[in-house]
Every structure is written in structure tokens, then in C-alpha cells.
Structure 1
Amino acid sequence: MNWLELQTAAADAIVWIAYACFIIVALRNVISLAQLLVAAWVFATRVKPGEGARDLWNRYADLAMPITVIAPAYNEELSIVQSVKALLALEYPEHEVIVVNDGSKDDTLGQLVRSFGMEETSRTQIAELQQTRIRATYRSRRYPNLLVVDKENGRKADAANAGIGFARTPLVCVIDADSIIEPDGLLRAAEPFMYDDGRLIAVGGAIRIANGCTIKGGSLQKIGISKSLVPRFQTVEYLRAFLMNRVANAHTNTLMLISGAFGLFRRSTLVEMGGYRHDTVGEDLELVVRMHRHMRDREREYRMAFVPDIVCWTEAPAALDGLDNQRKRWQQGALETLQCHRGMIFNPRYGRIGMLAMPQIVLEDIIGPPAELLGYLVLPAAALLGLLDPMMALAFFFVSVVFGCVLSLGTLALEEQQLRRTPTATDLVRIGIAAVIENFGYRQINLWYRLQGIRRFMKKDSTWAAVPRVGFGKG
């Protein structure tokens, strides 16, 4: 091949790459637009304004199935007491709280023992799902529905499994110890189980950013937004994820993720599956994908639900270094799940999960991030070199950045119309501005973090990168 032929081949390759990047990004946005439209239709026709806790209590108190709330905790000495008080105060007819101290190196266990009058007791596990040793169990003298399990460190999945093994109730709620459930959250989550025909196995709820909110005594006192841009950008991301993606996917029976910060599950299904996997950093995604696989392999009818007005508040990374760790871990966990369950992809045996939901994860987590980031480089370069019509580069900018702004603003409008969780018009404008400017820098930085997550997956790096916390009300 001579030099001219080599130049021609290189130019053709650049053009093909440019077109491929454009098509992939456009396809992702078309799917997102379809999800936004489905979510809007669901809100308009199916989801009625949420009833108050008292109305729910009066209607369902006699039907409410007992629930065990499982809170894995690691080095939470600064907030564990207030968090447990909030869990004990949840408005629900019958619930037990199991705090699993996952080998904390600080005084988490001591704080629990002193603050709640804990004394060592013997509690037999119904199912031994964890891989590490249980050191002791403690029962509160003042709160008979509070149990503390002290165990060797094994990470969150192992701690959750230990709690599931000690639970005695038909439903279990797994949450992060540093998250805050609104007082009526359990009632709203359990409502779908109250009129279920036995097919419902899991319910998810919306996760919102607590940065900027006023938190006292382990409960939300006032909704606010962060003064920092990084948490504001994440507020927009979470709105898209929970009010657009989750609502649409639940409606089409393709819900693939129930957040690890809050999820309600039928305990018997979790035990039958062996609980959470220990060898992935994305245990929440893997669990739900495996639930689909487990039920379809056994040809059982089942469903999973999403209730958008269940709200769990969580602290988001306040700076880019914490966001870096979080997003790399999320990306790595998605790839580990896809590798483990690759046999489901485009497999008609798994119905719409295999033919639609799993390929969508492939598009979002394998093909999409590199294609979009490459597109920002290749299309302008190809246009400058005369290999591509400049209008093509402009069209790529439109389908990636401008279309991204439209989707974010559409989701914000949906939230304001249906749930109205943004406290003031000024805050709504601030979030709206964040929805626009996140597409100019923040979005591209996130793509880079996701590429780093792919690199971690390729290197089989299983180290746990912690996300720095500044505490509720400080970010």
C-alpha cells in the first residue's frame, strides 16, 4: 500500500468512526426521549398525587406486612446514632431495624451500645448468607425492635447478607446507614405489596440529593439545594435517572436497577438466590439483573415496581475527587454485571429483559461513553480536515449537548408538575441553570471517569475507592 492509499484509508476510517459516534449518541438520546415521554404518560395517567402518611396508615395499617430494615454500617460513628433514631421513628405498623456493623475500625459499635442500651443476646440466623464471621448480636433494652449484628469486615454486600439471614419478616428493606428515608417511606414502599397477587418481588424508590438540605436528629427538616455546582449537577442527574429512566422502565417491565441506598424486597426470593454477590463493586445492579434471570430461568411470573414518591435522601460527592471514585466504581460494577450475565444479552429466552433491557445496558455502559467522548474529538477534526461536512459536526453537538439540555429540562418540568419537591422558584431556576451548563464540561468529565472505570474493569482492580463525605448540610 503506497502513501496515497494509506492516506485514503485513514481518511475513510475517520469518516466511518465519525458516523458511528454520531449514530450511537443519537440512538442513546432517542431512547432517553422515549423514556421521558413514557414517564410523562405514566405520571399523567397512572400515578396519582401521593396520599399523606395518615391516609396511608388508615387505609393499609391492617394489611401491612412486617418489614425488617437492614442498615449495613462501616465507620459511621459520627452519624450512626441519629440515623438509627430516624429508622426507629419510621411510620410503619411493625418493623424491626437490624444494624450490621461491618467490622468498623472506629467507635460505631460503642456508640450503638451506649446510646441504645444494647446488651449481648443470642439470635439464630435463619439463613447464613454472609462469608465472614459473626462476632456477636446485641438487643436494645429500650427498643425491642432494634438488633445490632457485629461481624468481621466483608463490605456492604456481605453485611446486607448477614442482615437478611437474621431477618424474620416476609419483607426486607436494605438501605445505606447514612441515608435518610422520609417518615412515610416504608408505608409507600410496602403499599404495592398490600394489593399484590404474589408476583411482586421488589420495589424501588427515588433517591434525592441531601446536600444543601437541613438535617437534624437524623431527619429532614428543610429541603434545599447545594451552594456548590457539583452536587447541583448530580441533582439533575438523579432526577433524570429516577423520574425518567426508572419510571419508564418499571412501566415496560424492564426495571434493571433498584438503588442500593433504598430497596424493598421479598425476603424469600433473596434467600433462594443466595443474597447479594460478594465479588462485584456493583452489587445493587447485579442483584436485580440476577433476580430477572432467576425468575425467568424457573419460568415464574414476577414483577418489580418503582414508586417515585418514596424518597430517600443521600449525601452526594461534594467535589470532583469523590465523584471520580463513585463513577469509576459504578462503571466497573456495570461491566462486571454484564460479563457475569452476558448469556442474557439478545437471548429470547429472557424476553424483553434479554432483547431490550440488557442491550440497553450494553449501549449505555460499554459502547456509549467511548463513542461520545471520541465523537467530541473526531467530528470537529474531520470537519476541519475537510473530510466531513461541518454541518455533521454541528449536528453531533446538537444531538449530544443541546438534546441533553432538553432532556434535563423536560425531566425538571416533570418533577415540578408531579412531585414539586423543589422548595422555591429561585431554587428551581438554579437547578434549571445547572441542567443546561452541566452539558458543557461536567458531562464530558463524567465520560472520562467512566472510561477510567472501564480501565479498572480491564485490570480487574477490586480495590474499594471511598467517596469523601463532608456531612449532611455542609455540601
Structure 2
Amino acid sequence: MSLAESLNILSQIVLYLAFGCMIIVAYRNAVSLTQLLLAAYVFATRVKPSSASLDLWHRYADLALPISVIAPAFNEELSIVESVKALLALEYPEHEVIVVNDGSSDKTLATLITNFDMVKTNRQQIAALQTTELFGAYKSKTHPNLWVIDKENGRKADAANAGIGFARTPLVCVIDADSIIEPDGLLRAAEPFMLDDGKMVAVGGAIRIANGCEIRGGSLRKIGLSKNWLPRFQVVEYLRAFLTARVANAHFNTLLLISGAFGVFRRSTLVEMGGYRHDTVGEDLELVVRMHRHMREKKEDYRIDFVPEIVCWTEAPAEWGGLKNQRARWQQGALETLIKHWRMVGNPRYGRIGLFAMPQVVIEDILGPPAELIGYLVVPLAILLGLLDPIAAVAYFCMTVLFGTGLSLGTLILEEIQLRRTPSAADLARIGAAAFIENFGYRQANLVFRFIGIKRHFKKETAWSPVPRVGFGAA
């Protein structure tokens, strides 16, 4: 093969790659726009829930199903007292809090025992779903509805399973120990179960960034915005994820992810499924996908819902290293889930989950990130080689930057209309600026982090990469 022929083949490859990447990015943008419009429709046409906690209490105090709040904790001594106080203060007629100390190497357990006057009890599990050893159960002398389970380290899924095994209530809420639910969050999460005829198996809520907020005594005193640009970028991401994608997917009962930071589940369904899987780093995604599969294969009518008015505040990574570990883990978990449940992809047996939701995950998590990252490289190369009109490069830039910024701003408008969790016009402007600036470095870094997750998956690296926390006071 001559040099000219080799260059011609290379040119054709570059050209096809450039067009392929542009098509995939255009498709992803079209899906995002559709989700935004559908979310706007859902918000505009549904009955807006009461914004007053007192109204919720009067309406559901006699109907609310008892609920166990399960908080897996590993090395959370910086924020565990604040978090537990917030869980105990939740406005709910009957709830218990079960903190599962997952073999912490810091003073998490000692901090809990000291601050809440814990004593050892002989409470037993009614379902053993965990795979690691239990060391003991503790009950608070000052708060009768607070329990602490001490166990060998087995990661979050195993800790959540241990808590589910100790729960005695019809509903369980699994929450990150470093997260704070707004006081009426449990009532809002339980409402779909109370208004349902038994079909509801899971409910998720919106997650917001606590960095920059004032949190004292376990409660959110003042909403704020971090001075650090990294958490600001994540505010934009979370708004897009929770107020567009999940609202739209829940509307069609194709919701595949309830955030590990907050989710409410029918306990009997979790026990029937065997709880969370231990062999994945993306246990929250895998659980909901398997829940769909489980219910479809049983041919039972069911529903998984999302309530945007439920707001749970969590500390976001404030450093690049922590963000890298978090996003790589998310990508690795998505790949593991797709591989475990690949038979669902495109399979009409699983209805709209198999025909639409699972293929969308393939595009978003398998094809999308490489296509976008490769596009940043091959589109300029195609222009330099004279294979692509510079106008096409401008179109690609508009698709990846301007269009994405417009979608983010549209989501911000929805947030301001529906939830109003942004305290000032100045903060709205700062978030809007972050929606534009994130396209120049942050978005590309996230693509690299995803590739790291892909590499870890194929190298079968299963170690849990930590995300450093500074605690709510400093966040």
C-alpha cells in the first residue's frame, strides 16, 4: 500500500469519526431538549403540592406508614452528629433512624455513642442480607427511635442491607450519612405510597449541593452557594439530572436511577430481591434496574416515582481528586450494571425499560462520552486536513457548548419556578455563569474521569476510591 493510499484511508477514518461523533452529540442534545420540554410540561400540568409542612402533617398524620431511615456510615465523624440530629428531627409521625457503622477506622462509632448516650442491646435481624460480620446493636437512651449497628466493613451496599435486615417497618429510606433531608422530606416521599394502591415500590427525590450553605444543629439554616467553582459546576449538573431527566423518565415509568443519597423503598420488595448487590460499585443504579427486571419478570404491575419537592442536601467534592474518584466510580458502576443486565437491552419482554430506557443508558454511558471526547480531537484535525468545512466545526461547538448552556439555563428557570431553592438573583447569575464556564475544562475533565472508570472496570479494580469530605461546617 502506497503512502498516498494510506493517507487517503486515514483521512476517511478521520472524516467518518468526525461525522459519527457529531451525530451522537446531536442525538444526546435532542434527548436532553426533549426531557427539558417534557419536564416543563409535567410541572405545568400537574397539581402543585402544598408547600406548607403543616398541611402535609394534617393530611397524612393518620395515614403515614411507619418508616426506617437507614444511614450507612464509614469514617463520617466530621458530620455524623449533624446528620443524625437532622434525621431525628424529620417531621414524620412514626420513624426510626438506623445508623450502620460500616467498620469505620475513625471515631464514628465513639462519636455516636458519646453524643447520643448509646447502650448495647440484643436487637436481632429479621432478614440477614449482609455478607459481613455484625459486632453489635446499640440503642440511644435519650432518643428511643435511634439505633446504631456496628459491623465489619463491607461497603455501602452491605451496610444498607444490614440496616434493612434490622428494620421492622413497611417502608425504608436509605440515605447517605453525610446528607441532610429537608424536614418535610419523609412526608413528601411517603405520600406516593399512601395515595397508591400497592403498586409503588420506590420513590426518589432531588439532591442539592450543600457546599456554601449554613448548616447548624443538624438542620439547614441558610441556603448558599459555594465560592469554589467546582461545587458550582456540580450544582448545574445536579439541576439538569434531577429536574429534567428524572422528572421526564418518571413520567413514563422509565426511571432507572434513584440516587444513593436518598431513596424510599417498600421493604418487602427489597427483601424479596435480596437487597443491594455487593459485587458492584454502582449499587444504586443496579438496584433500580434489577427492581424493574424483577417486577417485569414476575409480571406484576408496579411504579417507581420521583418527587422533585423532596430535597436532600449533600456535600459535593470540592477538590478535583475527589471528583475524579466519584465520577470514575459512577461510570464503572454503570458499565457493571449494563453488563449484568445486558439481556434487557432492546428486549420487548421488559417493555419500555428494555426498548427505550436501557438503550438510552448504552448511548449515554457507552457511546456518548467517547464520542464527545474524540470529537474534540478529530473535528479540528478534519478541518486541518481540509476534510471538513469550518462551518461544521462551528456547528459542533454550538452543539456542545451553546446548546448545552441553553439547556442548563432552561433547567435553572424550572428550578426557580418550582422549587425556589436559590436564595438571590446574584446566586442565580453565578449559577448561570457556571453553566457556561463548565464547558471549558470541567466538562472535558469529566469525560476523562469517565475513561478512568472504564479502565478500572476492565482492569477489574473493585477498591472503593474515597471522596474526601470536610464536613458541613466547612463545606
State the TM-score, normalizing by the size of structure 1.
0.99
> CA shift at 1:78, angstroms?
2.5
- 2:268 pairs with 1:271: no
User: Where do residues 425-444 of structure 1 align in structure 2 (5 Å cutoff)?
Assistant: 425-444=425-444
| Contact 1:50/1:309, CA 8 A, preserved across alignment | no
SS in 2 for 1:301: coil
| Contact 1:49/1:418, CA 8 A, preserved across alignment | no
Question: Which amino acid counterpart does residue 333 of structure 1 have in structure 2?
Answer: G
Q: Distance in 2 between matches of 1:382 and 1:3?
A: 18
Equivalent in the alignment of 2:382:
382
Q: Deviations over 1:51-110 (max 9, x none)?
A: 311000001111100000001111122222222111111100000111111111122112
Q: Distance in 2 between matches of 1:82 and 1:125?
A: 27
Structure 1 residue ranges, 4+ long, deviating more than 3 angstroms after superposition: none
Q: Distance in 1 between matches of 2:114 and 2:386?
A: 72
User: What is the alpha-carbon root mean square deviation over aligned residues?
Assistant: 1.0
- 2:231 pairs with 1:216: no
User: Where do residues 128-167 of structure 1 align in structure 2 (5 Å cutoff)?
Assistant: 128-167=128-167
| Contact 1:127/1:165, CA 8 A, preserved across alignment | yes
Q: Deviations over 1:125-168 (max 9, x none)?
A: 11100000111111122221111111111011000000000100
User: Where do residues 225-304 of structure 1 align in structure 2 (5 Å cutoff)?
Assistant: 225-304=225-304
Q: Distance in 2 between matches of 1:216 and 1:382?
A: 55
In structure 2, do the counterparts of structure 1 residues 473 and 142 end up closer, same or farther at CA, with 3 Å as the change threshold? closer
Equivalent in the alignment of 1:305:
305
Equivalent in the alignment of 2:55:
55
SS in 2 for 1:289: helix
Equivalent in the alignment of 2:81:
81
> CA shift at 1:403, angstroms?
0.8
| Contact 1:242/1:308, CA 8 A, preserved across alignment | yes
State the TM-score, normalizing by the size of structure 2.
0.99
| Contact 1:210/1:473, CA 8 A, preserved across alignment | no
User: Where do residues 445-464 of structure 1 align in structure 2 (5 Å cutoff)?
Assistant: 445-464=445-464
User: Where do residues 88-99 of structure 1 align in structure 2 (5 Å cutoff)?
Assistant: 88-99=88-99
| Contact 1:210/1:315, CA 8 A, preserved across alignment | yes
Equivalent in the alignment of 2:190:
190
Work out the percentage of aligned pairs sharing the same amino acid: 71
Segments of 5+ residues of structure 2 without an aligned counterpart are none
Q: Distance in 1 between matches of 2:423 and 2:53?
A: 20
Equivalent in the alignment of 2:18:
18
Q: Distance in 2 between matches of 1:425 and 1:221?
A: 19
Q: Deviations over 1:398-452 (max 9, x none)?
A: 1111111111011011111111110011111111111111111111111111111
Question: Which amino acid counterpart does residue 469 of structure 1 have in structure 2?
Answer: R
SS in 2 for 1:206: strand
Segments of 5+ residues of structure 1 without an aligned counterpart are none
Question: Which amino acid counterpart does residue 246 of structure 2 have in structure 1?
Answer: R
SS in 2 for 1:287: helix
Question: Which amino acid counterpart does residue 13 of structure 2 have in structure 1?
Answer: A
Equivalent in the alignment of 2:391:
391
Question: Which amino acid counterpart does residue 440 of structure 1 have in structure 2?
Answer: F
> CA shift at 1:380, angstroms?
1.2
| Contact 2:78/2:470, CA 8 A, preserved across alignment | no
In structure 2, do the counterparts of structure 1 residues 473 and 409 end up closer, same or farther at CA, with 3 Å as the change threshold? farther
> CA shift at 1:47, angstroms?
4.7
SS in 1 for 2:68: strand
> CA shift at 1:114, angstroms?
2.0
Deviates more, 1:197-206 or 1:442-451: 442-451
| Contact 2:100/2:149, CA 8 A, preserved across alignment | yes
Q: Distance in 1 between matches of 2:473 and 2:83?
A: 14
Deviates more, 1:139-148 or 1:370-379: 139-148
| Contact 2:103/2:153, CA 8 A, preserved across alignment | yes
Equivalent in the alignment of 1:369:
369
SS in 2 for 1:311: strand
Q: Distance in 1 between matches of 2:466 and 2:117?
A: 31
- 2:203 pairs with 1:203: yes
| Contact 2:172/2:267, CA 8 A, preserved across alignment | yes
In structure 2, do the counterparts of structure 1 residues 401 and 47 end up closer, same or farther at CA, with 3 Å as the change threshold? farther
Question: Which amino acid counterpart does residue 217 of structure 1 have in structure 2?
Answer: G
Q: Distance in 1 between matches of 2:46 and 2:82?
A: 36
Question: Which amino acid counterpart does residue 99 of structure 2 have in structure 1?
Answer: V
Q: Distance in 1 between matches of 2:416 and 2:82?
A: 30
Q: Deviations over 1:30-57 (max 9, x none)?
A: 0000000000000000151543110000
Q: Deviations over 1:261-288 (max 9, x none)?
A: 0000000000000000001111000000
